[in-house]
Structure 1
Amino acid sequence: MDRSDIQDEADFRSTTHVQGAASFSKFMTVLQIIADTPGTLDIAQLTKRAPFPRGTVYRLVSALIAEGLVIQSGESGTFRLGPRLLQLAAKAWEDSDLRSIARDFLVSLRDATDETVHLAVPSNNRMVYIDKLVGSNRVQMKTSIGAQVELHSTSVGKAWLSGLPDQRLVEVIKTLDLRRHTDKTFTTPESLLEELKRTREQGFAFDDEENEPDIRCLGSPIFNRFREPVGAVSVSMPVYRHDVRSHELCARLVRQTAQQISTELSRMV
């Protein structure tokens, strides 16, 4: 390869890099808008939010759907993150420091309760499960790593919210769609704030069939070395296996587990 060929290749790589970066930036912009407003915007609303011509937005969304990074509701026409993106994220979470640090503590919690244990982190006003361990009982929760759950109706969500400073907590709650899942779901900012006050006082959140019938969960927040909530751990069980004794046991153990993980996490530089 002579000098001119080398220069031509360098020019090509430089041009391709710039063009590719610009295209990638557009994809990421649209993807971020969808991630920030899952299940909320249809194509007309999305074109108003995105800083690109209508035709460009259509092409970007079509490509994202084709790659499984975005899905569109057949009923409302709104968009949310797709399964492929969640699968890619799950791969990253498998190697995450939090997941690695928490694993042994989660195993101990699972063994002590013989119930389903979850580790979750916040993502776009939701919680995402990054680890799950199940007990020996035949009846278990039908959840999976990578699944997203709402903040206001789950123990991991309420636990994480309870760890936020007051001002930040109010700001986050204002952005939430407090949808009713059962007749026990907290659907007003006032009732949710009162519940989170109790959560702070007792050191754990209690999901009393608020997200789905016949399931109860207890969760506690995990903090980094700056005392910022970075996730939550929970124990889940069907109602028929939940009583005063199991409640007290799980509450004590989930608090202890979250504290142990927080301590280990705070040692990281």
Structure 2
Amino acid sequence: MSPSDLQDEADAKAPTHVQGAASFSKFIAVLQIIADAPGAQDIAQLTKRAPFPRGTVYRLVSALIAEGLVAQSGEDGTFRLGPRLLQLAAKTWEDFDLRTIARHFLVSLRDQTDEAVHLAVPSNNRMVYIDKLVGSSSVQMKTSIGGQVELHSTSVGKAWLSGLPDQRLLEVIKSLDLRRHTPKTFTTPEALFDELKRTREQGFAFDDEENEPDIRCIGSPIFNRSGEPIGAVSVSMPVYRHDERRHELCGRLVRQTAKLISTELSRIV
């Protein structure tokens, strides 16, 4: 190899500065703040949370709105994730291995229960729905693909948490904002940890109107080949369609579905 070839190889391996990387990071930071917020954010709240001057936040948000990545409410001026971002995310979920592998099993679960079925994965201390199938009833949950829910108050969240080893579980619980959504929400680390131990023992989590009044959900964790929880599947129904018989049936079917998905996932991925 000649000296010039050696120099060319060295130049190829040398780190390069990507033009615009700093600005891109700022855009991502603002998007993440909007995505992680429990509700819609106005400009005052954004500037308080973002580590940038107010004028910079204005410019970043304006650019994001222009690209359809952020949308602004005309009523109160608050911001939320825009339709273009959700479209991009949906394209990703279309090709997501777990969603593809799980679909057949989700259809079977929906057909056996005739209730709404959800598939969710963890993201920034929340669960994100990546698939949803509905039953034949006119009364359905107001959830959608791409929607985010909290870990401590939902069956998919508690199911995923229950699959974590104790040390990791305690760390995650400590980082959560255990907000009360209904009188039945678990709002202390001790009570939540005890609930998750019961979840492990029975193989499925039960959301007993803890996230929404009049809605009950049963969820079970999905594991990869290394035994790590990577998601959860659930069945959701109104309280009036839930009784002891349905609870036992749905618990068994959800647990079975999660195991089948985990087995298939381990075999393919």
TM range, smaller chain: 0.7 to 0.9
Kindly tell me: are residues 78 and 166 of structure 1, through their superposed partners in 2, closer, same or farther at Cα, counting changes over 3 Å? farther
Matched, 1:112 2:112: yes
After superposition, the Cα gap between the structure-2 partners of 1:124 and 1:76, relative to the gap in structure 1 and judged at 3 Å, is: farther
Determine the structure 2 residue equivalent to 1:124: 124
1:233 aligns to 2:233 (yes or no): yes
- Greater alpha carbon shift after TM alignment, 55-64 vs 254-263: 55-64
User: Which deviations, in whole Å up to 9, do the C-alpha atoms of 1:85-108 show, x marking residues without a partner?
Assistant: 233212211221000000000011
Contact 1:204 1:255 in 2 (8 A): yes
Q: CA deviation digits over 1:59-84, x for unaligned, max 9?
A: 11232244443456899987654444
Residues in 2 aligned to 1:212 and 1:83: alpha-carbon distance in whole angstroms? 26
Q: CA deviation at 1:213?
A: 1.4
- Give the Cα–Cα distance (whole angstroms) in 1 for the partners of residues 81 and 165 of structure 2: 28
Letter aligned with residue 194 of structure 1: D
Percent identity between the two aligned chains: 87
Instruction: Give the letter aligned to residue 161 of structure 2.
Output: L
**Worse-superposed segment, 196-205 or 52-61:** 52-61
Stretch of structure 1 that moved more, 229-238 or 18-27: 18-27
Which has the higher mean CA deviation after the structures are superposed, 174-183 or 113-122?
A: 174-183
Determine the structure 2 residue equivalent to 1:31: 31
The answer to whether the Cα contact below 8 Å between 1:151 and 1:157 also exists between their aligned partners in 2 is yes
Aligned-partner Cα distance in 2 for 1:218–1:252: 10
Q: Residues 117 and 151 (structure 1 numbering): CA distance in 2 closer, same or farther, change over 3 Å?
A: same
Cα 1:160/1:82, change in 2 over 3 Å: farther
Residue of structure 1 in register with 2:200 after alignment: 200
Task: Calculate the TM-score normalised by the size of structure 1.
Answer: 0.83
Report the Cα distance in structure 2 between the residues aligned to 1:105 and 1:63, rounded to whole angstroms: 42
Residue 261 of structure 2 is matched in structure 1 by 261
Q: Sort the Cα spacing of 1:211 and 1:134 in 2 relative to 1 into closer, same or farther, 3 A.
A: same
Moved more, 98-107 or 169-178: 169-178
Moved more, 192-201 or 28-37: 28-37
Give how far 1:130 is off.
0.9
User: SS of the residue aligned with 2:121?
Assistant: strand
> Structure 2: which 5+ runs fail to align?
1-16
> Matches of 1:226 and 1:261 in 2, distance apart?
14
**1:158 alignment partner in structure 2:** 158
Per-residue CA deviations over 1:164-197 (Å, capped at 9, x if unaligned) read 1222222222222222221111111121111111
- Give the SS at the match of 1:85: helix
| TM-score of the pair, normalised by structure 2 | 0.83
1:89 aligns with 2:89: yes
Which residue does the alignment assign to 1:210? 210
How many angstroms apart in 2 are the aligned matches of 1:260 and 1:177?
A: 32
